[in-house]
Structure 1
Amino acid sequence: MMPDPSMRAWEPEIQPRQTLSHRLEHGARHLLPSLFCMLVIILFSAPLPLPGIAELMPAIVMATVFFWSFWRPSGMPSLAVFFLGLFMDLVGFTPLGVSAFILLLVHGVGLYARFGLMRMHFLLAWGVFALVALGACLLQWGLACLFRLHMLDLPPTLFEAFLSIGAYPPLSALFSWLLHRLDGKEQD
């Protein structure tokens, strides 16, 4: 007697079991952007004798969050962005939550504009990031002025914004290469 084909539709499809190493590798691929940001925060918050290192840390983290938010949001989930921002606040001695708020806004813009940015030429996507970075740095400056109840100097904020804008192309090239490699590994 032949089995009824309509009964097969209700049976769950059996997937081959993934090995532990395959699951760990897959998880590590998705954690890589967050781990990169964490490493940057740790290394750049250390008292190294490099000029401009304090401004370089938020620039790299902001560019990383923006890139991965629109190219692979699973690699930069909102919860990870929130904790990265809190960690930046803790090591940078800024009011708790300011960096988390700023990074979540950058992440939100990247997610919201995701499908439009993917179709844009790199220079246009870079222009969008430039506007986002400038707005984020000015917002951070405004919040810092509000917390301290007096006006702070604007040139360091503009330096941080321009540093973020300048850091985006090399980081984007590195992350594009890495994304291409990771996508090739997932197909194997």
Structure 2
Amino acid sequence: MMPDPSMSAWEPELRPRQTLWQRLDHGARRLLPSVFIALIIIFFSAPLTIPGSAELLPALVMATIFFWSFWRPSGMPGIAVFLLGLFMDLVGFTPLGVSAFILLLVHGVAFYARFGLMRLNFLLVWGVFGLVAIAACLLQWGLACLFRLDLLDIAPALFEALLAIGVYPLLSAMFSWVLHRMDEKEDP
């Protein structure tokens, strides 16, 4: 597109302005993954008697962050991942910053792996997520051992990794549907 010769270099190009509702709609779509994770953290941190909720919470959060960082990074910015990790640490009574650090690593791997894996089939992406989940859970276990200065049982970490790997296809299908609906709404 050629610049308009009648406009000076200092005048910005005029674009159609969005209405308030369009801006709110766009902002709500961008916040949807973060709000979903925040609600999941609140739900699983409530004093409910859900078996395996301590392992299910990080699995759901990790799978959600991986999906949105991989397929729609604008919906899962790094600052949101950091704040959600801190929130998870605060409600879970874990050392402050551990979840934020691990979730930022998951976010970073998903964000940078997306360029090489975008055109591959679901099974390969799921396999990459499986490796990331195992590494993240082992890192979390290693940090817990370091903080306690004791060798803890590795079984809960492996269970959490298997849970994350197992829940990813279901969350991926649900989020793919949501992503498709959001894209339909954006295209007039």
Measured against aligned partners, the alpha-carbon deviations of 1:13-56 in whole angstroms (never above 9, x if no partner) come to 32222111110110000000000000000001111111011111
Tell me the residue number matched to 1:28: 28
Tell me the residue number matched to 1:160: 160
How far did 1:57 drift?
0.7
Instruction: Provide structure 1 residue ranges, at least 5 long, that are not aligned to the other structure.
Output: none
How far did 1:172 drift?
0.3
Task: Please list, as runs of the form range in 1=range in 2, the aligned pairs for 1:10-159 lying within 5 A after superposition.
Answer: 10=9, 11-159=11-159
Cα distance in structure 2, aligned partners of 1:54 and 1:132: 19
Measured against aligned partners, the alpha-carbon deviations of 1:42-100 in whole angstroms (never above 9, x if no partner) come to 00111111101111111000000000101111100000000000011111111110000
Where has structure 1 moved over 6 Å in runs of 4 or more? none
1:178 aligns with 2:175: no
The one-letter code matched in structure 2 to 1:38 is A
Tell me the residue number matched to 2:6: 7
What secondary structure sits across from 1:82 in the alignment?
helix
Cα distance in structure 1, aligned partners of 2:12 and 2:97: 45
What secondary structure sits across from 1:7 in the alignment?
coil
Cα distance in structure 2, aligned partners of 1:17 and 1:130: 43
How far did 1:160 drift?
0.3
Cα distance in structure 1, aligned partners of 2:8 and 2:64: 44
Instruction: Provide structure 2 residue ranges, at least 5 long, that are not aligned to the other structure.
Output: none
Aligned length: 184
Percent identity of equivalent pairs:
73
TM norm structure 2: 0.95
The one-letter code matched in structure 2 to 1:6 is P
Report which stretch shifted further, 90-99 or 111-120.
111-120
Report which stretch shifted further, 97-106 or 114-123.
114-123
What secondary structure sits across from 1:99 in the alignment?
helix
Cα distance in structure 1, aligned partners of 2:145 and 2:26: 43
